[in-house]
């Protein structure tokens, strides 16, 4: 019997550590995806409440710092998502968000809706020109839009101008779609105009 | 909530992004490349082949093992028990690793699959990979014309005499459509402008406007619009932001609106100046959008009088839609026709001048008999930045006191200007605390943030080690450099300079929380802590917010012993906010329009910060007077005391005595007045008096006076002096009917020009990626490593497990 327990044990510890951290990371990734998948279901309730009492702010859960402002659908792609108020990280984790500083949805000007490239807005990668999407505002009315352009933007050299003369919705997500690291400078911008 | 981050944390949180941008960009390219060449798999195989050789390494290991064997023998008998244990462990291990291999396989499959989806996606997007950034890919945008329906051009003439400028501003609107239109134009004016006349000109016809109560004016205008008559309605939305609506402009027709206003000339450290704003930096509207029904009414184009703004009313800025005029898209606003201004001035100071200059425009200057005439060198200019005119008397004739009078309707009015003597710079001996608050919101993008950074760096270098300081940067949220103010020693100043260098403009303008953090509630000093003798807050911003009044209120309430100094940044700052915030904060305001201004402006500000203010002013008038403003503010180095009075119907004769305390010592000055004899008439003195009275009454409203009481006090003054105010508007209606009432018309906004050099956007793109994929890959990598280690261990001949099990 030739044994080297210290070496085996340390190897075991290393392997166990690797497995643990690996599983933890996997869990964290799963949590991100899970949140993104489940939140819209919760928000749907808040949205129907908003539609019942038009104009009010209905928070999906009492401590939420955001609330749904619209519902976005692309029936052909089986996309049906809420649009929340605000585009900060903690909002986008749940659903796409409307940048509060941009023009309101459904009015003149540039309205910006951001969404994560690896969850809600992953479908933007496949969206083509001329496709239709529709947006329901708090008044219950559906508005039809068509995709007029797609574009890659370097945020280091340009940003959004909301004071525009026409009604335009920008759907913004990070680019490239399959990049690993977040916080890249590129954005994939899909421009929708009233159909 | 205030986030205090020290340097390390700070860089990590906020600037990680920028610091590693370059690196990341390369990374993306790498990814890109991989995508084309079946990368994820390739990458993986590479790693495998790299790792494989380690499997053959045991020869080397065995040698090591041989060396250690004696020690292990010594410990041998202790291990008799653990053998069974180890066997158990091994079995457990093997189970775990079977599962691990399976899990890893599933994960890999998922990743490879998602990768192939992404590859397919990248291909459908019409070869986007080849597109370099910034290149336009808008292919379906045809049919969107950016020529505004109504083109605007302006002419402005300043006639400056003594301390008062009378300004005539003409706005010409031209209908470029084939239908009747109503134009909606929002425009800025200096915050102290007393707008006192309006004249509408259609061809050869001139119609004089009248001041009416706001709602009355609105209904007169609405009626005229409905009946097809030409009409103009000018309303005040903010003291420096007005809207002009022009109804029933016929196709191809031009309508001209001429406004006249008076304003006192600004005087500081022996230099006179006048500022004329031309465009509006988009304001940020904090708060929650109002109920849709309210908002809909405000925004709807079918409303009786749409304002056509880009913002939605919020609970904090209920009139957001009125103060958010559209801007021309960048690149299209340099056309010769739209938003051009021609400008001229007559300067009659009655004293020899040593300098006349305009820092942001090129001018031509001519002089005849002590009167200067000037105009723009190019004839006209784009309306994309403030016009500033500065002039300076020769050394010997710098005024120290002046009194101007005017008689209107048998009422005598006066305006007094006195310059207190320069205070000694004694303050250097007193320790002080300087809190810098810097705006890094999206509206500061472009040249503004550079000016702000330069200003702050300059200021930091002026601090002495005895001073303490802190920096609060704000956009959508705010963060302080330090939890508590720190001494301005070399180390901390260097650290602060680095912090400033890393500031970038993006996000909203949540000014209130930052202000409250800079002006904390003064705590009970019972704990023996000595408050700093002098607490100065230097606020660097473009003031592009819609909730000004709330901010002024907060400043007055929270000020305590602190003093607030504002530094206005950019081509088109919100000057009213700068001035009023400084007034509420009992400090001064400084403007910076380009990088060259930074040095002199900050030097002048620090001159003021370093010297004690002249305080406790009292004025004895020769007769009973009504003087505005009621409370004479503290005066800083170089600032004159200016005050407007009304003497009623008796001509004032006698002496005015001004008393005050300068640097701790009493000071007084006597000025002789004899209106009856010297019948000098200074036009505008009465309007300035009325304007100051209105401003002071509105301030009382901010301090808590009932809104109805304020309105009742302001309305008669505004009507008697025919001035524009929050409660009165100018309206002019032509008698002739231009448009048959059955012919339709449309309302169009008259867009403003983008402020020069400022980023075209008031905020940045959102961050739209999660760390999910990175975590996933990391998990796979770790599990894979674990697997490799496991395999490697099994591959060893002298493995813990008995060989027959293999």
CB A66 within 8 A of CB A59: yes
pLDDT at B359 over 80: yes
> Residue B22: which pLDDT band, with cuts at 50, 70 and 90?
very low
Contact (CB<8Å) B767/A174: yes
Average pLDDT value for residue range B601-608: 86
ipTM summary value: 0.80
pLDDT at B634: 85
- Long-range (24+ apart) CB contacts under 8 A made by B213-219 are B213/B715, B213/B719, B213/B727, B213/B728, B214/B726, B214/B727, B214/B728, B214/B729, B217/B728, B217/B729, B217/B730, B217/B731, B218/B305, B218/B729
Sheet holding B401-408, edge to edge: B401-408, B411-418, B641-648, B626-628
Highest mean predicted confidence (pLDDT) among B262-266, B608-612, B652-656? B262-266
- Average pLDDT of the residues in B777-791: 88
Model confidence at B13: pLDDT above 80: no
pLDDT at B15: 38
H helices of chain A, where?
Answer: 5-52, 89-92
Q: Which of A101-110, B205-214, B218-227 has the lowest mean pLDDT?
A: A101-110
Q: Looking at B78-87, B515-524, B532-541, B719-728, which range is the least confident one?
A: B78-87
- Over residues B233-252, the mean pLDDT reads 92
Provide the CA B674 distance to its chain's centre, in angstroms. Answer: 47
* pLDDT beyond 70 at B21: no
More confidently predicted of B315 and B542: B542
In this prediction, residue B734 carries a pLDDT of 92
Which residue of chain B has the CA closest to A166?
B144
Mean pLDDT over each residue of chain B, to the nearest integer = 77
Which residue on chain A is closest to B772 by alpha carbon?
A29
Q: B710 with B191: CB under 8 angstroms?
A: no
Q: What is the DSSP string of B21-78?
A: HHHHHHHHHHHHHHHHTTHHHHHHHHHHHHHGGGGGTHHHHHHHHHHHHHHHHHHHGG
Domain count, chain A: 1
The CATH number of residue A61's host domain is 2.40.260.10
Interval B329-349 mean pLDDT: 75
Highest mean pLDDT: which of A74-78, A89-93, B314-318? A74-78
For residues B339 and B135, which has the higher predicted lDDT (pLDDT)? B339
CB atoms within 10 A of CB B182: 21
Of B379, B152, B347, give the one whose Cα is nearest residue B245: B152
Of B143-152, B351-360, B410-419, B427-436, the poorest mean pLDDT is in B143-152
DSSP E strands in A36-185: the ranges are 68-74, 79-85, 97-98, 109-114, 132-137, 142-154, 167-174
Nearest to B645 by CA among B626, B671, B665: B626
Surface of A (58-117) touching B: CB under 8 A: 69, 85, 87-89, 92-93, 97, 99-104, 107-109, 112, 114-117
Predicted local distance difference test score (pLDDT) of residue B256: 94
- The helix (run of H) or strand (run of E) holding residue B703 is none
Task: Give Dmax over CA atoms of chain B in angstroms.
Answer: 126
| Residue A149 included in any domain | yes
Establish if A1 belongs to a structural domain: no
Non-local CB neighbours of B275 within 8 Å, separated by 6+ positions = B190, B266, B386, B387, B388, B575, B591
Chain centroid, CA B585 distance in Å? 18
> H/E element holding B699?
helix B685-702
With beta carbons less than 8 A apart as the criterion, state whether A148 and A132 touch: no
Is residue B426 within 8 Å of residue B611, measured between CB atoms? yes
Check: CB of residue B625 under 8 Å from CB of residue B439: no
The architecture in CATH of the region B150-396+724-749 reads Sandwich (2.60)
At A193 the pLDDT is: 87
Q: What is the rounded average pLDDT of the residues B586-611?
A: 86
Looking at per-residue pLDDT, the higher value among B400 and A134 belongs to A134
What would the mean pLDDT of B746-754 be, rounded to a whole number?
A: 81
Contact B768 A151 (CB under 8 A): no
pLDDT at B46 > cutoff 50: no
pLDDT (mean) for B285-302: 58
Q: How far is residue B460's CA from residue B164's CA, in Å, rounded to a whole number?
A: 37
Pairing of strands A109-114, A167-174: parallel
Residue B422 parent element (H or E): none
pLDDT for position B632: 85
Return the structure tokens found at B350. 């009655």
Considering only CB atoms, B770 lies closest to which of A26, A107, A118, namely A118
Confidence of residue B629 (pLDDT cuts 50, 70, 90): confident
Instruction: Pick the residue from chain B with its C-alpha nearest to A110.
Output: B310
Provide the token pair at B361. 């425009």
pLDDT band at B530 (very low <50, low <70, confident <90, very high): low
Residue B583 vs residues B565, B618, B752: alpha-carbon distances, Å: 9, 18, 29
A108 vs B140, B310, B773: nearest CB: B310
> Considering only B28-37, B211-220, B288-297, B751-760, which range has the smallest mean pLDDT?
B28-37
A195 three-state secondary structure? coil
Q: What local confidence, expressed as pLDDT, does residue B523 receive?
A: 58
Cross-chain Cβ contact A32/B292 below 8 Å: no
Model confidence at B31: pLDDT above 90: no
Q: Is A141 on the interface with B (CB under 8 A)?
A: no
Mean predicted confidence (pLDDT) in B710-726: 93
Identify all chain B residues contacting A65, using CB atoms and an 8 Å cutoff: none
pLDDT at B11: 39
The answer, yes or no, to whether residue B57 has pLDDT greater than 50, is no
Q: Is B6 exposed, middle or buried (0-12, 13-18, 19+ CB in 10 A)?
A: exposed
- Chain A residues near residue B25 by CB distance under 8 angstroms: 184-186
Q: Return d(Cα B83, Cα B68) in angstroms, integer.
A: 19
Domain of residue A26 covers 6-194
3-state SS class at B227: helix
CB B314, CB B286: distance < 8 Å: yes
Distance from CA of B97 to the nearest CA of A (A): 10
Residue B304's pLDDT is 61
B304-338, pLDDT tens digit by residue? 667 777 676 778 888 888 888 877 765 554 455 78
CATH topology of domain B404-422+614-718: Immunoglobulin-like (2.60.40)
Q: Do B506 and A159 touch (CB under 8 A)?
A: yes
State the smallest CA–CA distance between residue B655 and chain A in angstroms: 56
Is residue A39 less than 8 Å (CB to CB) from chain B? no
Q: What per-residue confidence (pLDDT) applies to A165?
A: 60
Is residue B763 within 8 angstroms of chain A, CB to CB?
yes
- What is the C-alpha separation between B739 and B692, in angstroms, rounded? 41
In the structure, what pLDDT confidence band is assigned to residue B728 with cuts at 50, 70 and 90?
very high
Query: How many whole angstroms separate alpha carbon A162 and alpha carbon A109?
Result: 6
Longest dimension (CA), chain A: 84
- Is B72 in the A-facing interface, judged by CB distances under 8 Å? yes
Nearest to B782 among A5, A18, A163 (CB): A18
Residue B618 CA to residue B636 CA, distance in Å, equals: 16
- Look at the domain B429-521+532-605 and name its fold: Rossmann fold (3.40.50)
Confidence of residue B55 (pLDDT cuts 50, 70, 90): very low
Nearest CA in chain B to A193: B141
Average pLDDT for A136-149: 87
Does A56 or B614 have the greater pLDDT score? Answer: B614
Report helix, strand or coil for B123. helix
- Which tens digits make up the pLDDT trace of A3-43? 556 777 888 888 889 999 999 999 998 988 888 888 888 88
Six-digit token string for A53: 């009492």
Q: Which of A95-99, B17-21, B160-164, B680-684 has the lowest mean pLDDT?
A: B17-21
* pLDDT tops 80 at residue B296: no
B12 band by pLDDT with thresholds 50, 70 and 90: very low
Torsion of CA B630, B636, B638, B642, to 10 degrees: 0
Helices B772-795 and A5-52, axial angle in degrees (round to 10): 160
- Residue B593's pLDDT is 85
Peptide bond into A176 cis (omega under 30): yes
Q: DSSP string covering B377-411, please?
A: EEEEEES-S-EEEEEEE-GGG--SEEEEEEEETTE
Identify which of B133, B292, B326 has the shortest CB distance to residue A138.
B292
Give the separation between CA B195 and CA B100, rounded to whole angstroms: 79
Report pLDDT for B700: 87
Contact at CB, A173 and B445, closer than 8 angstroms = no
List chain B domain ranges: 38-121+774-805, 150-396+724-749, 404-422+614-718, 429-521+532-605
Mean per-residue pLDDT, B269-288: 86
Chain B residues with CB-CB distance to A149 below 8 A:
137-141
pLDDT level of residue B265 (50, 70, 90 thresholds): very high
CA distance A40 to chain B (A): 17
pLDDT higher than threshold 80 for residue B579? yes
Residues 6+ apart with CB under 8 A from A150: A127, A129, A188, A189, A190, A191, B125, B128, B137
Task: Work out the number of other CB atoms within 10 angstroms of the CB of residue A186.
Answer: 19
Q: Which of A166-180, B176-190, B390-404 is modeled with the greatest confidence?
A: B176-190
Which pLDDT belongs to residue B650? 82
Please spell the DSSP secondary structure of A20-72, one letter per residue: HHHHHHHHHHHHHHHHHHHHHHHHHHHHHHHHHSTT----SSTT-S--EEEEE
B492 vs B399 pLDDT, higher one: B492
The residue in chain B having the minimum alpha-carbon distance to the alpha carbon of residue A148 is B140
Please, how many CA atoms are within 13 Å of residue B368, restricted to the half-sphere of its CB?
3
3-state SS, one letter per residue, for B534-581: EEEEEEEECCCECCHHHHHHHHHHHCCCEEEEEEEECCCCCHHHHHHH
The domains spanning B150-396+724-749 and B429-521+532-605 adopt the same CATH topology: no
Higher pLDDT, B299 or B707: B707
Q: Is the pLDDT of residue B42 over 60?
A: no
Average pLDDT of the residues in B448-464: 90
* Interhelix angle B447-462/B595-610, nearest 10 degrees: 40
Point out the residue among A29, A32, A172 whose CB comes nearest to the CB of B768: A172
**Range of weakest confidence among B125-129, B412-416, B489-493:** B125-129
d(CA A18, CA B18): 31
| Residue B5 in tokens | 């981050």
Mutate to test the interface with A, among B752, B766, B777 (most CBs of A within 10 A): B766
Query: What's the whole-number mean pLDDT along residues B132-140?
Result: 27
Phi/psi of residue B647, each to 5°? -100, 0
């Amino acid at each position: 019997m030739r044994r080297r327990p210290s070496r085996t044990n340390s190897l075991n510890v290393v392997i166990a550590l690797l497995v643990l951290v690996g599983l933890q990371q996997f869990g964290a990734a799963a949590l991100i995806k899970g949140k993104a998948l489940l939140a819209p279901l919760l928000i749907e309730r808040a949205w129907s409440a908003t539609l019942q009492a038009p104009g009010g702010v209905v928070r999906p859960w009492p401590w939420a710092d955001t609330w749904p402002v619209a519902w976005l659908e692309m029936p052909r792609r089986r996309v049906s998502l809420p649009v929340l108020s605000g585009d900060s990280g903690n909002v986008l984790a749940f659903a796409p968000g409307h940048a509060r500083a941009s023009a309101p949805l459904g009015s003149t000007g540039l309205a910006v809706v951001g969404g994560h490239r690896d969850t809600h807005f992953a479908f933007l990668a496949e969206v083509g020109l001329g496709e239709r999407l529709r947006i329901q505002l708090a008044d219950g009315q559906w508005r039809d839009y068509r995709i007029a352009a797609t574009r890659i933007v370097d945020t280091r050299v340009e940003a959004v101008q909301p004071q525009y003369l026409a009604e335009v919705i920008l759907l913004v997500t990070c680019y490239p779609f399959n990049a690993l690291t977040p916080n890249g400078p590129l954005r994939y911008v899909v421009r929708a105009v009233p159909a | 909530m205030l986030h205090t981050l020290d340097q390390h944390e700070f860089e990590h949180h906020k600037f990680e992004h920028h610091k590693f941008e370059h690196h990341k960009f390369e990374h993306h390219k790498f990814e890109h490349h991989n995508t084309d060449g079946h990368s994820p798999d390739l990458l993986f195989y590479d790693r495998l082949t790299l790792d494989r050789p380690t499997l053959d390494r045991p020869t080397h290991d065995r040698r090591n093992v041989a060396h250690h064997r004696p020690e292990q023998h010594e410990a041998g008998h202790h291990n008799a028990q653990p053998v069974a244990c180890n066997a158990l462990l091994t079995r457990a291990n093997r189970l775990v690793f079977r599962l691990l291999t399976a899990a890893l396989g599933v994960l890999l499959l998922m990743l490879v699959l998602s990768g192939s989806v992404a590859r397919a996606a990248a291909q459908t997007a019409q070869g986007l990979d080849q597109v370099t950034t910034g290149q336009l890919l808008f292919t379906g945008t045809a049919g969107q014309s950016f020529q505004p329906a109504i083109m605007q051009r302006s002419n402005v003439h300043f006639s400056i005499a003594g301390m008062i400028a009378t300004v005539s501003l003409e706005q010409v609107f031209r209908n470029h459509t084939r239908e009747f239109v109503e134009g909606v134009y929002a425009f800025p004016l200096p915050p102290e402008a007393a707008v006192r006349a309006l004249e509408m000109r259609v061809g050869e016809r001139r119609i004089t406007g009248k001041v009416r109560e706001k709602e009355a004016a609105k209904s007169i205008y609405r009626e005229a619009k409905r009946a097809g008559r030409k009409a103009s309605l000018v309303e005040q939305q903010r003291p420096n932001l007005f809207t002009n609506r022009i109804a029933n402009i016929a196709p191809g027709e031009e309508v001209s609106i001429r406004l006249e206003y008076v304003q006192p000339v600004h005087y500081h450290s022996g230099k006179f100046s006048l500022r004329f704003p031309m465009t509006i930096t988009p304001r940020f509207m904090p708060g929650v959008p109002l109920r849709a029904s309210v908002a809909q009414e405000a925004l709807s184009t079918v409303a009786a009088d749409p304002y056509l703004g880009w913002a939605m009313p919020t609970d904090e800025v209920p009139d957001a839609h009125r103060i958010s005029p559209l801007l021309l898209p960048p690149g299209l606003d340099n056309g010769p026709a739209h938003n051009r201004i021609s400008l001229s001035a007559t300067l009659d100071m009655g004293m020899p001048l040593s300098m006349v200059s305009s820092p942001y425009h090129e001018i031509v200057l001519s002089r005849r008999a002590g009167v200067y005439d000037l105009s723009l060198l190019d004839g006209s200019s784009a309306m994309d930045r403030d016009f500033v005119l500065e002039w300076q008397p020769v050394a010997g004739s710098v005024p120290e006191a002046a009194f101007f009078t005017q008689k209107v309707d048998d009422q005598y009015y006066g305006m007094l200007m006195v310059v207190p003597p320069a205070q000694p710079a004694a303050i250097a001996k007193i320790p002080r605390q300087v809190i810098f608050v810097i705006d890094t919101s999206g509206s500061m993008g472009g040249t503004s943030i550079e000016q702000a950074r330069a200003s702050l760096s300059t200021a930091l270098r002026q601090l002495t080690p005895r001073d303490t300081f802190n920096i609060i940067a704000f956009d959508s949220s705010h963060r302080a450099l330090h939890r508590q103010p720190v001494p301005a020693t070399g180390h901390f100043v260097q650290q602060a300079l680095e912090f400033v260098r890393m500031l970038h403009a993006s996000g909203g303008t949540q000014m209130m929380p930052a202000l409250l953090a800079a002006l904390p509630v003064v705590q009970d000093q019972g704990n023996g802590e000595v408050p700093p003798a002098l607490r100065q807050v230097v606020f660097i911003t473009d003031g592009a917010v819609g909730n000004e009044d709330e901010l002024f209120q907060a400043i007055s309430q929270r000020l305590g012993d602190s003093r607030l100094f504002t530094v206005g940044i950019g081509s088109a700052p919100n000057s009213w906010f700068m001035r009023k915030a400084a007034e509420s904060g009992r400090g001064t305001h400084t403007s910076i329009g380009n990088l060259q201004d930074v040095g002199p402006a900050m030097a002048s500000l620090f001159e003021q910060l370093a010297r004690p203010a002249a305080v406790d002013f009292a004025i004895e008038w020769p007769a009973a007077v009504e003087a505005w403003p009621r409370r004479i503010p503290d005066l800083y180095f170089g600032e004159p005391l200016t005050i407007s009075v009304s003497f009623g119907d008796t001509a004032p004769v006698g002496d005015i005595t001004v008393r005050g305390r300068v640097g701790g010592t009493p000071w007084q000055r006597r000025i002789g007045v004899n209106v009856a004899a010297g019948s000098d008439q200074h036009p505008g003195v009465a309007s300035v008096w009325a304007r100051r009275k209105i401003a002071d009454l509105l301030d009382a409203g901010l301090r808590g006076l009932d809104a109805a009481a304020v309105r009742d006090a302001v309305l008669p003054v505004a009507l008697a002096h025919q001035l524009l105010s929050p409660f009165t508007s100018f309206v002019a209606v032509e008698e002739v009917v231009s448009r048959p009432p059955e012919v339709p018309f449309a309302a169009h906004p008259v867009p403003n020009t983008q402020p020069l050099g400022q980023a075209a956007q008031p905020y940045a793109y959102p961050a739209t990626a999660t760390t999910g994929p990175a975590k996933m890959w990391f998990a796979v990598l770790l599990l894979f490593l674990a697997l490799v280690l496991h395999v490697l261990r099994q591959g060893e001949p002298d493995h813990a497990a008995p060989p027959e099990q293999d």
